[in-house]
Amino acid sequence: MGAEFVALSLPPMLIGTLSAMACALPGNFLLLRRQALISDAISHVVLPGIVVAFLLTGVVATWPMMLGAGGAALIAVLLIEVIRRLGGIEPGAAMGVVFTTMFAGGVLLLELSDTSSVHLDVQHALYGNLESLIWLEAAGWGSLTDPKALQGVPSELPRMAVVLVGMATLTALLWRPLKLSTFDEGFAQTLGLPVRGIGLLLVAMSAIAAVAAFDAVGSIIVIAMFICPPAAARLMTNRLERQVWWSMGFAALSALLGYVLAGYGPIWLGGTHAVSAAGMIATFSGVLLALAAVFGPCRTKG
C-alpha cells in the first residue's frame, strides 16, 4: 500500500490541495469585492492562450504555456475594461462577453489545428490531468527523503508550492491595505493607499494562481476553488482573518476528500472505475458550501 500510495496518490493529492489553496486565497478578496466572476473569466481565457502558445512553439511545455495563458489573461482584462468603458456596459456583462468569446475561440482553434498528436484537448482543459501526475521514482515513504527519487517528482508539485507560498507571503505583507481597500475604498484612498494598484495586484495574483493551477488540475477546480471555499468560509465567521483560515481548510478538505472519493467511492459502491478527481473535488467543494449555507453560524445578515 505504502509504495503505491506514495507513487500514485500522494503527488496528485498534494498538487490538488496546493492548487485549491492557492486559488481560494485571493478568492476571499474577490468574493468580498463582488468580483468573484473575474476568476471564472481568467480560467476560461487561459485556454486560447495555451492553444496559441502551443501553435507558436509546437511543444507542450510549461513555460510557453504559462506565458501564453498569462498573455491571454492580460488581453482579457484589457478587453473587459475597453468594452466596459466604450460600451457603458456593467462589468459583469463585459466579463461574460469576453470570457465566453475567448473560450469559444480557443475551442475552435483547438479543433482546427492538429493537436491530436499531443495531450491537449478540451477535456484536458476542463478536467486537467490530476490522475496522471504520478511519481514513478517513488518506492515508498522513504523516497520522500531520497534526493535522487525526489528529482522525479512531477514539476507541478514544486511549482504549485512556490505559487502558494508566494501568494501567502504577499497576502500577509499586504494584509492591511488589501482589507482596507476591500472594505472602504474611498477611505483607503484618503490614507494615500494606491487602491487601483492594489486592485490590479489582486487580479494579477488571481491570474497567476489560476494559470499555474489550470495546467495541473483544469479549469473546473480552479473556478470552484476561487469561489466555493471562501463563500463557505464567510458563513462560518464574521472576521476576515478567520474567514481566510476557514477557506484554506475547506479548500484542502475538498481536494483531499474529493480525490479519495473519486478514486475509491465508486468502488465502495460496487463500481469498477474511478471517476474524475477534478469533477469530484469541485462537486465536494459545492457540497461543503451547501452545508455551510444550511448549518454555518454566520448565515444571517446582520
* H-helix or E-strand spanning residue 20: helix 10-32
Task: Tell me how far apart the alpha carbons of residues 65 and 293 are, in angstroms, rounded to a whole number.
Answer: 38
Instruction: For residue 59, give the nearest of 107, 117, 112, 110 by alpha carbon.
Output: 117
Cβ proximity to another protein: between 117 and 190 the closer is 190
Task: Tell me how far apart the alpha carbons of residues 109 and 52 are, in angstroms, rounded to a whole number.
Answer: 8
Task: Tell me how far apart the alpha carbons of residues 275 and 271 are, in angstroms, rounded to a whole number.
Answer: 10
8 Å CB contact between 236 and 292: yes
Coil, strand or helix at 140: coil
Cβ proximity to another protein: between 119 and 242 the closer is 242
| Inter-axis angle of helices 156-173 and 195-234, nearest 10 | 110
189 binding another protein? (CB under 8 A) = yes
Binding-site size for another protein (CB under 8 A) equals 26
Cβ of residue 184: shortest distance to another protein, in angstroms?
A: 5
Cβ proximity to another protein: between 124 and 234 the closer is 234
Cβ proximity to another protein: between 192 and 270 the closer is 192
Provide the H-helix boundaries in 119-194. Answer: 122-127, 147-150, 156-173, 175-183, 185-190
Cβ of residue 287: shortest distance to another protein, in angstroms?
A: 22
32 binding another protein? (CB under 8 A) = yes
183 binding another protein? (CB under 8 A) = yes
Residues 230-259 that bind another protein (CB under 8 A): 234, 237-240, 242-243
Cβ proximity to another protein: between 182 and 285 the closer is 182
Task: Tell me how far apart the alpha carbons of residues 10 and 259 are, in angstroms, rounded to a whole number.
Answer: 10
176 CB-side CA count, 13 A? 3
301 binding another protein? (CB under 8 A) = yes
Q: Specify the stretch interacting with another protein by CB under 8 A; choose among 52-60, 63-71, 131-139, 189-197.
A: 189-197
Residues 68-127 that bind another protein (CB under 8 A): none
Position 248: which residue type?
M
Q: Specify the stretch interacting with another protein by CB under 8 A; choose among 12-20, 41-49, 126-134, 181-189.
A: 181-189
Q: Specify the stretch interacting with another protein by CB under 8 A; choose among 114-122, 130-138, 251-259, 294-302.
A: 294-302
Cβ of residue 234: shortest distance to another protein, in angstroms?
A: 6
Instruction: For residue 28, give the nearest of 185, 206, 195, 162 by alpha carbon.
Output: 206
302 binding another protein? (CB under 8 A) = yes
Cβ proximity to another protein: between 173 and 200 the closer is 173
Task: Tell me how far apart the alpha carbons of residues 27 and 289 are, in angstroms, rounded to a whole number.
Answer: 14
Residues that bind another protein (CB under 8 A): 32, 173-174, 176-177, 179-180, 182-184, 186-187, 189-192, 234, 237-240, 242-243, 298, 301-302
